[in-house]
């Protein structure tokens, strides 16, 4: 389908389709409203409301600090363990929320898919972007925590934007594959929580990369969240700057993202028929 001079042409679609940026831009208001709706609806009929956005990471930080920081005494690169783990949790929660929301976006809005037309890419996009609000709140809490522990943010904090972008891109890359697969194979729904749990232990949220054996490091850095989390700690707390693993992360994310877009575009035309 193409738009030219007010004519819409509808014809059979075959094979691999390129991404239509112009059309996505035309639908930016829809994207905005989907995000707005997610945020509006999420904490409706809860007593604590938006407070949940900060309760979750704080609780996890407390539990981690107690178990890993105190009882097990996991090394935290010389940082207070609560700060260390919270800095890892920030991008981690953004990533997992984004992945699970974009994966389920098609199914939870199946009716929209069946009744109105829009570029389906909008759905997983909204899925990764709506957790940004939660992120913002928990980030403010983190800043407060930094002051409590006597840490001052440096100019490096501006580099956070880059790592934030990488985390979102990683979430979108995974979300695109999974949301398209989820339309056809509901197995994804059962696979996802399990995968995220595995991924959590494969990412340096509760421990530091330095504590891994050297021979594992290369293999380990294939996980793009390694670069993201290390980047967050470096930009916020001034730990060791992330090494070449960041470039590995970027390359992996780019690969999964581009293939994800193509896979999604190939499958999306039939979403309404099989969802």
- Residue 41 interacts with another protein (CB under 8 A): yes or no: yes
- Residue 6 interacts with another protein (CB under 8 A): yes or no: yes
Under 8 Å CB-to-CB from 251, ≥6 apart: which residues? none
Contacting another protein within 104-123 (CB under 8 A): 109, 111-118
Among 159, 196, 250, 272, indicate the residue that binds another protein (CB under 8 A): 272
Residue number, 7 or 152, with CB nearest to another protein: 7
- Residue 47 interacts with another protein (CB under 8 A): yes or no: no
169 close to 86: Cβ distance less than 8 angstroms: no
* Residue carrying the six token digits 């994966």: 103
Task: Please give the DSSP secondary-structure letter assigned to residue 3.
Answer: E
Candidates 26-34, 83-91, 124-132, 198-206 — which segment interacts with another protein by CB under 8 A?
Answer: 26-34
Alpha-carbon distance of 123 to 152, in angstroms, equals 38
Residue number, 141 or 272, with CB nearest to another protein: 272
Task: Please give the DSSP secondary-structure letter assigned to residue 241.
Answer: P
Contacting another protein within 168-187 (CB under 8 A): 184-187
Q: Which helix (H) or strand (E) holds 4?
A: strand 2-4
* The residue count for the chain: 275
Candidates 5-13, 70-78, 161-169, 207-215 — which segment interacts with another protein by CB under 8 A?
Answer: 5-13
User: C-alpha dihedral over 172, 173, 176, 177, to 10 degrees?
Assistant: -150
b vs e for 242-254, b when ≥16 Cβ sit within 10 Å of the residue's Cβ?
beebbebbbebbe
Among 37, 72, 149, 200, indicate the residue that binds another protein (CB under 8 A): 37
Minimum CB–partner distance for residue 208 and another protein (Å) = 37
Among 11, 16, 22, 214, indicate the residue that binds another protein (CB under 8 A): 11
16 token code pair: 């691999």
Alpha-carbon distance of 221 to 199, in angstroms, equals 13
Residue number, 115 or 214, with CB nearest to another protein: 115
CA angle 176, 182, 183 (to 5 degrees): 100
212 token code pair: 């891994």
- Residue 18 interacts with another protein (CB under 8 A): yes or no: no
Contacting another protein within 138-167 (CB under 8 A): none
- Residue 215 interacts with another protein (CB under 8 A): yes or no: no
- Residue 266 interacts with another protein (CB under 8 A): yes or no: no
- Residue 73 interacts with another protein (CB under 8 A): yes or no: no
- Residue 273 interacts with another protein (CB under 8 A): yes or no: yes
Contacting another protein within 84-103 (CB under 8 A): none
Alpha-carbon distance of 257 to 121, in angstroms, equals 12
- Residue 30 interacts with another protein (CB under 8 A): yes or no: yes
Among 220, 214, 225, CA closest to 94: 225
Alpha-carbon distance of 53 to 123, in angstroms, equals 22
Residues that bind another protein (CB under 8 A): 1, 6-13, 29-30, 33, 37, 40-41, 44-45, 109, 111-118, 184-187, 269-270, 272-274
């Amino acid at each position: 389908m193409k738009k030219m001079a007010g004519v819409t042409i509808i014809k059979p679609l075959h094979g691999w389709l390129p991404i239509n940026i112009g059309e996505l831009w035309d639908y930016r208001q829809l994207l905005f409203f989907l995000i707005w709706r997610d945020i509006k609806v999420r904490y409706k009929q809860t007593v604590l409301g938006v407070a949940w956005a900060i309760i979750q990471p704080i609780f996890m930080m407390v539990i981690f600090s107690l178990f890993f920081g105190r009882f097990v005494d996991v090394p935290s690169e010389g940082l207070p363990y609560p700060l260390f783990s919270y800095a890892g949790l920030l991008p981690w929660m953004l990533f997992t929320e984004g992945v699970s929301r974009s994966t389920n976006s098609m199914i939870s809005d199946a009716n929209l898919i069946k009744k109105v037309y829009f570029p389906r890419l909008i759905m997983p996009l909204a899925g990764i972007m709506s957790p940004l609000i939660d992120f913002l709140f928990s980030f403010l809490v983190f800043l407060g925590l930094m002051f409590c522990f006597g840490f001052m943010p440096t100019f490096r904090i501006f580099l956070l934007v880059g790592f934030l972008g990488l985390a979102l891109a990683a979430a979108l890359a995974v979300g695109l594959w999974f949301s398209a697969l989820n339309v056809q194979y509901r197995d994804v729904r059962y696979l996802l929580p399990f995968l995220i749990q595995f991924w959590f232990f494969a990412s340096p949220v509760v421990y530091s990369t330095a504590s891994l054996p050297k021979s594992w490091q290369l293999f380990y850095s294939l996980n793009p969240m390694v670069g993201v989390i290390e980047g967050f700690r470096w930009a916020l707390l001034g730990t060791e700057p992330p090494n070449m693993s960041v470039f590995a992360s970027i390359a992996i994310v780019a690969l999964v993202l581009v293939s994800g877009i193509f896979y999604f575009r190939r499958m999306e035309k039939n979403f309404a028929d099989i969802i």
